[in-house]
Amino acid sequence: MFRVNEAVCRDGDDGASKLVPADESGLCALGQRFAALGREHGLPYFLVTTFPNADKPGFAPNLLLNNWPGELVALYGASDVFASSVLVSRLKSTIVPVFSADAVFSAVLDDTKGALGDSFRGYGLNATLAFSLHDRALAHYLIAFSGERRAPERAELASIHYDCVELVDSCFGKLVPQDGPREKLSARELECLRWSAAGKSSDEIAIILNISSHTVVSYLKSAMRKLDSVNRMQAVARACRFRLL
């Protein structure tokens, strides 16, 4: 049994069209490509998740694609150690690929040779190669390949890493829906937000843009509405997150 996030496996850019065919193991075309890449390098199990953070630390909410045995997916989801795992901890401290022969999915404070580690080894996930990637909209992913092999040489690591970059780029907007404002902001609204982010008051922005302060306030209110914000500070923060400023 394999766990697949169906939103990843739709063939339309908006995620609303029909599901693409899956193979006999339940993997869609994208999952099959990750699985094939892992097998090519002697690491038959793969995992693709969004990188856990304080707002979304759990395994299940971050899971996008994998071909782990279903029992292991359920066990790991119930363990609630994903965000505090050895693997996530190491990936937070480096931007280069990480390879380990330990049970890196176990919690940082746990013995990696304990019960959870034994479960991973029992399914053949004895060694793991992992790295984090960002797509062009800065969505953050964790990608891991597991199996039973020795550490890859530098050239092989670089090849696997680049192949994954190409896979993530090829499915931009499908792995993680791209966030954005309710409506497109006008050039004037963005100008007012930029100057507001620079610490300028409405009166100062009015002088800079040669418009009335009342008009500045109107532009900022419109921008706040489109960005679903309650004040200017929040609107500026969301505009920065959406890479509008």
Could you tell me if 80 and 105 are in contact, meaning their C-beta atoms sit under 8 angstroms apart? no
Q: Which residues of the chain have pLDDT under 50?
A: 1-7, 13-21
Q: How many domains does the chain have?
A: 2
**Among residues 145, 170, 195, which one ends one of the domains?**
170
Q: Quick check: is 178 in a domain?
A: no
Residue 35 lies in domain: 6-170
Q: Quick check: is 179 in a domain?
A: no
Q: Verify that 132 and 212 share a domain, yes or no.
A: no
Q: Verify that 42 and 104 share a domain, yes or no.
A: yes
Q: Quick check: is 101 in a domain?
A: yes
Q: Quick check: is 175 in a domain?
A: no
Q: Verify that 87 and 208 share a domain, yes or no.
A: no
Q: Where are the beta strands (DSSP E) in 91-198?
A: 98-100, 127-134, 140-147
Q: Verify that 205 and 131 share a domain, yes or no.
A: no
Q: Verify that 166 and 191 share a domain, yes or no.
A: no
Alpha helices in 20-111 (DSSP H): 29-40, 59-62, 70-79, 86-91
Q: Verify that 125 and 226 share a domain, yes or no.
A: no
Q: Quick check: is 162 in a domain?
A: yes
How far apart are the C-alpha atoms of 106 and 115, rounded to whole Å? 9
How far apart are the C-alpha atoms of 83 and 48, rounded to whole Å? 14
Q: What is the pLDDT of residue 21?
A: 47
Q: Verify that 37 and 77 share a domain, yes or no.
A: yes
Q: What is the pLDDT of residue 245?
A: 83
Q: Verify that 36 and 140 share a domain, yes or no.
A: yes
Q: Quick check: is 15 in a domain?
A: yes
Give the sheet arrangement for strand 98-100, strand by strand: 63-66, 45-50, 140-147, 127-134, 98-100
Q: Verify that 155 and 233 share a domain, yes or no.
A: no
Q: Quick check: is 228 in a domain?
A: yes
Say which residue the tokens 């049994």 belong to.
1
Q: What is the pLDDT of residue 54?
A: 83
Q: What is the pLDDT of residue 212?
A: 95
Q: What is the pLDDT of residue 112?
A: 54
How far lies 108's CA from each of 22, 34, 53, 175, 213, in Å?
Answer: 35, 27, 16, 28, 54
What are the pLDDT digits (tens) for 154-203? Answer: 999 999 999 999 999 988 767 766 667 778 899 999 999 999 999 999 99
CATH number reported for the structural domain that contains residue 237 in this entry: 1.10.10.10
Which tokens is 34 given?
């990750």
Closest CA to 67 of 151, 122, 125: 125
Helix axes 115-122, 70-79, angle to 10 degrees: 160
Q: Quick check: is 126 in a domain?
A: yes
CATH number reported for the structural domain that contains residue 28 in this entry: 3.30.450.80
Q: What is the pLDDT of residue 39?
A: 96
